[in-house]
Structure 1
Amino acid sequence: MDHLTKLEELLNGANNDIKNGAFDEATNKLEKIIDMDPDFGKAYNHMAYLYDVKFKEYEKGETLYKLCLEKSPMYPPVYYNYAVLLSTLRKYDELEELLNTAINIPGITKSTIYNEYAIMYEQQGKLDQAIEFYKKCGMDTLDKATLERAKASIDRCKLKKDFL
């Protein structure tokens, strides 16, 4: 088995551990991957996800997402995960910069990125911009649930506008 195959196999094991709630086991596998190959960016994304979502250690998660972007800038999942963290932390300038990069990454789901732009604008009270991006999200998807969520989000923004 070659080096890369071994790393991917360990990463898949860590993914399964995360899905099964075995976060310590996942962390151990990810640390092993990073020890074996410090340039294997995907491992940093998964580790960041654990620190961000499961352990609520946002600073550590942010540092690890940045490492993933540095090592594997063409890896789409890091953009989705890091965008949610930046949104949670209300770091809108950094978030907008990340989304501007993400939208041009091959393999990225554009509707997901448009939705993140929309959430960012909605959180800032820029409701017209949010509505425009929820529309882009809806127009770019083939998934009915995503389309319905975009429609509901537009309706929510229109309701909020009534308060202004």
Structure 2
Amino acid sequence: MDHLTKLEEMLNQANLEIKNGKYEVASNILEKIIDIDSNFGKAYNHLGYLYEVKFKEYEKGETLYKLCLEKTPLYPAVYYNYAVLLSTLGKFDDLKKLLDTAITIPGITLATMYNEYAIMYEQQGNLDEAITYYKKCGMNTLDKNVLNRAKDSIDRCKLKKELQ
């Protein structure tokens, strides 16, 4: 088995542990991957996710996402995860830059990225821009649930506009 295949198998094992709620075990596997190959960017993304979502250590999560972007800039998953973290932290300038890059990444789901733009604009009170991006989200999906969520978000923004 070659080096990369072994690391991918370890990553799959870490994902399984995360799904089973065994975060410490997953974290140990991911740390081991990084020990074996510090340039294996996907491990930083998964570790960042654990620190952000499960351990609520946002700064550590952000550092790990940045390392993933540095090592594996074409890995779509890091853009989704890091965007949510930046949105949570209200780091909108950094989020805008990340999203502008994300929409150029091969394999990225545009509807998801447009939804993140829309959320960002809505949180900032720029409701017209939010509506524009929720529409882009809706137009770039084939998933009825995503489409309905975009439509509901547009309706919510229109209600907010009435309150302004």
1:162: Cα distance to partner?
Answer: 0.5
Work out the CA distance in 2 between the residues paired with 1:99 and 1:73. Answer: 13
1:18: Cα distance to partner?
Answer: 0.4
Aligned twin of 1:107? 107
Work out the CA distance in 2 between the residues paired with 1:49 and 1:8. Answer: 17
Aligned twin of 2:51? 51
Q: Classify the secondary structure of the residue corresponding to 2:107.
A: coil
- Structure 1 residue runs without a partner (length 5+): none
Aligned twin of 1:23? 23
Aligned twin of 1:136? 136
1:95: Cα distance to partner?
Answer: 0.1
Q: Deviations over 1:131-158 (max 9, x none)?
A: 0000000000000000000000000000
Q: Classify the secondary structure of the residue corresponding to 1:134.
A: helix
Work out the CA distance in 1 between the residues paired with 2:105 and 2:154. Answer: 26
- What one-letter code is carried by the residue in structure 2 that aligns with 1:74? L
Work out the CA distance in 2 between the residues paired with 1:17 and 1:143. Answer: 28
Aligned twin of 2:64? 64
1:47: Cα distance to partner?
Answer: 0.1
Work out the CA distance in 2 between the residues paired with 1:19 and 1:126. Answer: 36
Amino-acid identity (%): 75
Aligned twin of 1:155? 155
1:116: Cα distance to partner?
Answer: 0.1
1:39: Cα distance to partner?
Answer: 0.1
TM-score, normalised relative to structure 2: 1.00
TM-score, normalised relative to structure 1: 1.00
1:96: Cα distance to partner?
Answer: 0.1
Aligned twin of 2:38? 38
Aligned length: 164
Q: Structure 1: which 4+ aligned runs deviate by more than 6 Å?
A: none
1:86: Cα distance to partner?
Answer: 0.0
Aligned twin of 1:10? 10
Work out the CA distance in 2 between the residues paired with 1:159 and 1:16. Answer: 42
1:17: Cα distance to partner?
Answer: 0.4
Q: CA RMSD in A?
A: 0.2
